[in-house]
Structure 1
Amino acid sequence: MPIIRVEMFKGRTPAQKKAIAKELVDGFIRGAGGGSPSSFNVVFVDVEKHDWAVGHDMMNEKYPDK
């Protein structure tokens, strides 16, 4: 059973996460040549911007909330 783990900044709605999960699973199935959507697990990890850095740049400083 494949597990797809998605780490992203928090703020997506449950409906957006459902749409993301569908696209990821469907894309994996297309790429692998078949499979059943029910055999996949998608795990979303919501991360605060202040807990994410790229190099020396903290994401809450680079992308402040508006």
Structure 2
Amino acid sequence: MLYPYATFPERLIITYSDVKNDGSVHVNFEQPTDYGFKEARYTLPTQKNYLVMVTRQKKNRT
């Protein structure tokens, strides 16, 4: 299920999903056209996964 988050000029609509079992959230950017929608879909990872990625990047730099 997607829920509305914000609407911007030029009819850009941002929607988001429930938090999934793995803690991620799906975010959609949609813009109605004459023939349907233009859209971009993203998955936001869990905070736990993000912290692991940042920690790995810091270790690789040293």
TM-score (norm 2): 0.28
Which fold has the larger relative contact order, with Cα–Cα distance below 8 Å and residues 6 or more apart in sequence? 1
Which has more helix, going by share of residues?
1
Which has more strand, going by share of residues?
2
Instruction: Please tell me whether Structure 1 or Structure 2 has the larger radius of gyration of its CA atoms.
Output: 2
